[in-house]
Amino acid sequence: MKNAVYAQSGGVTAVINASAYGAIVAALESRDIGRVFAGVNGIKGILNEELFDLTDEKRSEIERIPYTPGAVFGSCRTKLEKEEDFERLFKVFDAHSVGYFFYNGGNDSMDTAYKIHRKALEMNFPLRVAGVPKTVDNDLLLTDHCPGYGSAAKFTAISIREATRDLKSMYSDSTKVFIMESMGRHAGWLTASAALAGIDQLQGPQIILLPEVAFNQETFLRRVEEVIKADGYCSIVASEALKGSDGNYLSTAGYYDAFGNIQLGNIGQYLERLVRENLKCKVHVALPDYLQRSSRHIASLIDWQEAIEVGAFAVKEVLRGKSGFMVSIDRTCDRPYLKELKCVDLSQVANGTKPLPEDFISEDGFYVSDSFLSYARPLIQGEAPNLFLHGLPIYENMAKVKVRKRL
C-alpha cells in the first residue's frame, strides 16, 4: 500500500489550511492509502527528506487545521530546475513508498506539480499527482475562481469600506485622499473586489486602479480632482501591479523571487507623492500586505467550504486512477450560486495567468462593471466559523512528528 504526501507552496491564503484539512482527512480515511505525510515547507522540505507523519496525529488537532491561518506545514517558493533535484525528489518518494502527491498552490506551484507528473511518467515511477488550487490573485487558468480569493476579497471590501467611512468623517479639514494598495501580481481580480464595499449603496472607493488598464498620470489626477470637487474626498484602491503605457511596472521592490517574478511594492507611496505634489492635499496610504491574504477571522464561508472540498476532491480523483490534473471549480449559476468540481490538465494551467476580462472593467477604466459584481458577490458570502478562547482565536497545535530519514 502506497503512502501520500501533501505540501503547501507559494503565498498563503486565509483558507489554504482548509484545503489541507480536506485532503488530509480524505487520505487518512481512505483504505487505499497507507500513511499520510506533509512536506515541511513545501517541495523544499521534501527535497531535504523532511516530512511530518500525520497518520497518528490527535484527531482533535487535525480538526483545528481549517481554523488556522498561514500554512500549517510551511510553504516555499522553491523552483525545480536541475535534473539532480528531480532525482533527489524521486529517491525520497521511493524511500518512503510515496504513490500519491498533492501540491497546494498557485501558478508556479501548478508548474512544479506538472513537472513532477511528467517526470514520473518518463521514469515509469508509480506516482499520481494532483494540483490543489489556491491563490488570492484568482488568476489560475481553467477555473472559475480560486480558493483563497473569496476571503481576500471579503477582507479588501470590508477594509476599504471602513476606511472610507473614516475618510468621510475627517475630510473637511484633514485627509482628502486615501489610497489602499492591493496585492495582485499580474491581474486585477483582488483589486477589483474593493467595489464590493459599495454593495448596499454605501460609498466605497470612488476609484479602482487595475493593472489591465494602462496608467495615465494626467487622466488619473484629473479624475481625483473631479471626485474631490464632487464629494469632498477621494477613496482609492490601487493594484501593486500598475503599469504605464510602455508596459513597465510603475513601482517595484527591485528584486526577484526564485521563479523570476519581480517583487512589487510601494505603488501607494508612488501615487501619494503624485497626488500630494500636484493637487496639494493631504493623502494617507495603507498597505494591507500579509493581512490581506491571511485574515482568517473574517474568511468567507463559501471560500472556506470550497477550499475543503477541492482538497478532498483531489484525493478522491487520484484514488480513481487520475494523475496530472488540477481541481477546477466550474460555476453553473450565479443566483443561486452553484458549482461543480472538475479535473483539468496541469499542462494547460502551469505558468498561465488569467487577467480580468474587459467586460468586468468600466468603460472609463477607473472602476468595475456590474458583470464583475455579479461574478464576485457570491464568493464573499457567509462567515467561516472560528474557534475563540479568552477573546482570541485558537489554532492547531499538532505534534508534527517528523519521519525518520532513510537517505
The pLDDT tens digits of the residues spanning 332-355 come to: 999 999 999 999 999 999 988 999
Active-site hit among 53, 108, 111, 137: 137
Is 171 annotated in a binding site? The answer is no
Q: Is the pLDDT of residue 167 over 90?
A: yes
Residue 353 main-chain phi, psi, to 5 deg: -140, 135
Q: Is 326 helix (H, G, I), strand (E, B) or coil?
A: strand
Mean pLDDT of 86-94: 97
Mean pLDDT of 223-227: 97
Are 372 and 192 within 8 A, CB to CB? yes
What pTM, to 2 d.p., does this model score? 0.95
Is 216 annotated in a binding site? The answer is no
Q: How many CB atoms lie within 10 A of CB 259?
A: 16
Mean pLDDT of 150-177: 96
Is 293 annotated in a binding site? The answer is yes
Q: Is the pLDDT of residue 314 over 80?
A: yes
Share of the chain above pLDDT 70, in %: 96
Domain ranges in the chain? 3-147+298-351+381-393, 151-296
Is 240 annotated in a binding site? The answer is yes
Are 351 and 112 within 8 A, CB to CB? no
User: How far apart, in whole angstroms, are the C-alpha atoms of residue 100 and residue 6?
Assistant: 8
Quick: pLDDT tens for 344-389. 999 999 988 999 999 999 999 999 999 999 999 999 999 999 999 9
* Pairwise pLDDT comparison (125 vs 256), residue with the higher score: 125
User: How far apart, in whole angstroms, are the C-alpha atoms of residue 51 and residue 54?
Assistant: 9
Is 164 annotated in a binding site? The answer is no
The CATH T-level fold of domain 3-147+298-351+381-393 is Rossmann fold (3.40.50)
Share of the chain above pLDDT 90, in %: 91
Mean pLDDT of 232-242: 95
Quick: pLDDT tens for 11-22. 999 999 999 999
Confidence of residue 116 (pLDDT cuts 50, 70, 90): very high
Average pLDDT, the chain: 94
Give which of 58, 56, 72 is closest to 21, Cα–Cα: 72
Confidence of residue 185 (pLDDT cuts 50, 70, 90): confident
Is 108 annotated in a binding site? The answer is no
* Same fold across 3-147+298-351+381-393 and 151-296: yes
According to CATH, what is the number of the domain 151-296? 3.40.50.460
Q: Is 144 a catalytic residue?
A: no
Beta-strand relationship, 51-53 and 36-39 = antiparallel
Is 183 annotated in a binding site? The answer is yes
Please tell me the predicted confidence (pLDDT) of residue 255: 45
Quick: pLDDT tens for 283-313. 999 999 999 999 999 999 999 999 999 999 9
